[in-house]
Amino acid sequence: MNFWPCPCLITWRKRVRPVAGKINEELDQILQSVVRIELLTFFQANPHTRDTADGLALRLHRPRHQVEMALNALSALGILEMSSRRVTIYRLRNSDLITSYLQEQAGKDISGPTCGQDWTFG
């Protein structure tokens, strides 16, 4: 008699996989936000830097694909400028854009309730 795999285990896996997929998507979004913040911080401290995705990945100690996705997002926002050469070079378009972007992000209420307040959902 073969008891493996147990039918209850198969049912459990079917329920868990979609949840695990959603968690991975959320973690990917958080990771991309962290990489974008690291790039913004780097360019804020080094506003005259011009570098490739490979070079910036080395500087940030991040995989190239993560850095490249973040660079494309920041370029789409107009914070970074991409050269249109054989090798793409990224540079800061305007350091004031970083300051305003960070202030805008800080203005979003992402904190929980302060002391004495209740969590309410609805």
Q: How many domains does the chain have?
A: 1
pLDDT, tens digit, 9 for 90 and up, residues 36-71: 999 999 998 999 999 999 999 999 999 999 999 999
- Give the CATH number of the domain where residue 62 resides: 1.10.10.10
**Domain membership flag for residue 71:** yes
**Domain membership flag for residue 119:** no
CA 84 – CA 65 distance, rounded (Å): 19
Domain with 51 in it: 8-103
**Domain membership flag for residue 117:** no
**Domain membership flag for residue 110:** no
pLDDT, tens digit, 9 for 90 and up, residues 5-41: 555 555 656 665 665 556 666 677 888 999 999 999 9
CA 79 – CA 42 distance, rounded (Å): 13
Q: How far is CA 53 from the centre of its chain?
A: 15
For residue 62, the SS3 value is coil
Measure the CA angle with vertex 21, ends 23 and 105; round to 5°. 40
Residues 80, 71: contact at Cβ < 8 Å? yes
